[in-house]
Chains A and B, each alone.
Chain A
């Protein structure tokens, strides 16, 4: 158990809808990362937060947004969903921003129909 909790585990929704994925980092970790893994693809970095502030942005679509709250949990909002957004979304946390191992949750599997 990595200590990172992601909810829900599975999500099925229709195109055009909006969903929110939630992540609780390990106790004491200040940094939260979001990754997307599409079928047979590697992990694509979306965005990183550190202690409530956006630290780095990767290949995150404008339809997607995220935030990290004062209690350090994070949410990833996906809107105007398309079929191609179907993927596994992983959250990870680390103690500090860079050069420390990430601890991953078990992911949220999003299916857009």
Chain B
């Protein structure tokens, strides 16, 4: 039972444009959501989080939006940079259940 799903395995965008990564969840008990970035041969690194009492959290170029009624969250990266190319995982707490990841490629 995949409670957190990232339906797009990959996304390609041009440098300077917006990247939008999506994540859906099914468990209404999830109350805290996180995004992680992973480069090859490294562990995931924490990027940004949002509590279920908010619908938006912003940190520099990264903004996470939460739509509780749709059980959907998204990560916006603007402007996208080639160094953002990585696999992005969304995760939901409690129990830190991870999605399958989306490979983002930002082309120069």
Q: State yes or no: do A and B come from one complex.
A: yes
A interface residues with partner B (beta carbon < 8 Å):
2, 4, 33, 35, 41-45, 48, 56, 58, 90, 92, 98-99, 101-107
* Residue of A41, A98, A99, A107 ringed by the most chain B CB atoms within 10 A: A99
Question: Apart from A42-B98, A92-B43, what are 10 other A-B pairs with CB-CB below 8 Å?
Answer: A41-B100, A43-B98, A58-B95, A90-B43, A99-B31, A99-B93, A101-B46, A102-B44, A106-B41, A106-B42
B interface residues with partner A (beta carbon < 8 Å):
6, 31-32, 34, 36, 41-46, 49, 51, 89, 91, 93-101
> Once bound together, how far apart are the Cα atoms of A94 and B51, in whole Å?
17
Contact B41 A56 (CB under 8 A): no
Contact B98 A2 (CB under 8 A): no
Q: Is the interface of A mostly helix, strand, loop or mixed?
A: loop
> Once bound together, how far apart are the Cα atoms of A102 and B45, in whole Å?
8
Please, which residues of chain A bring their CB within 8 A of the CB of B97? 45
Contact B100 A42 (CB under 8 A): yes
Please, which residues of chain B bring their CB within 8 A of the CB of A33? 96
Please, which residues of chain A bring their CB within 8 A of the CB of B91? 43
Please, which residues of chain A bring their CB within 8 A of the CB of B93? 98-99
> Known interface pairs A98-B32, A99-B93, A101-B34. Does A90 touch B44 (Cβ–Cβ under 8 Å)?
yes
Please, which residues of chain A bring their CB within 8 A of the CB of B49? 101
> Once bound together, how far apart are the Cα atoms of A45 and B43, in whole Å?
14
**What is the distance, in angstroms, from A96's C-beta to the closest C-beta of chain B?**
11
Q: Can you list 7 A-B pairs with a CB-CB distance of less than 8 A? A: A42-B6, A45-B97, A98-B32, A99-B94, A104-B36, A104-B43, A107-B43
> Once bound together, how far apart are the Cα atoms of A73 and B45, in whole Å?
20
Please, which residues of chain A bring their CB within 8 A of the CB of B41? 106
**What is the distance, in angstroms, from A8's C-beta to the closest C-beta of chain B?**
14
> Known interface pairs A99-B31, A99-B32. Does A4 touch B43 (Cβ–Cβ under 8 Å)?
yes
